[in-house]
Amino acid sequence: MKSKYGVTFLLLAALISVGTAIAHMSCIFLGPECFSAQMAPVQIIESARNGTWLAPIGTIFVSVIFSVVGLYALSGAGMIRKLPLLRLGIYTIAALCIIRGVLPLQLWIRHPDMVNSVVFYTGMIWLVTGLLFLFGYLLVRKSAYCEIKRHP
């Protein structure tokens, strides 16, 4: 039963990661306003306005990273083959997502005027995503360990 929850948590984390990759890639087609709406750095927005290669190459690079993060979630859920350094990868991804989520939260608590709602809610999404990675993988591993113990 715990394995079902773990798999569900990891599938949700994969959907968020791949959805983020798709959202980033959409900026290449939708233009500078999309980069601006997604709070890209000024250099990326200027690159999109000027038609230079920095914006599309940077966007593709970031989207590939989010896609790989999604693949690690699917691998942890057992939906695809086991990826290299799976345990380290999942725990590292979980930690980075949790840190990414906690940073705007602590800033909002200390200086609420410095955090707009988009930054706050984006942080909360990544905090939840990190927890989905962490608890999903822990539940899947615990279930697998119990199965091995039950059927040696």
pLDDT tens column, 26-79? 999 999 999 999 989 999 999 999 999 999 999 999 999 999 999 999 999 999
Q: What is the average pLDDT across 12-19?
A: 98
Mean pLDDT score across all residues of the chain = 93
pTM: 0.90
Rounded to an integer, what distance in angstroms lies between the CA atom of residue 90 and that of residue 76? 7
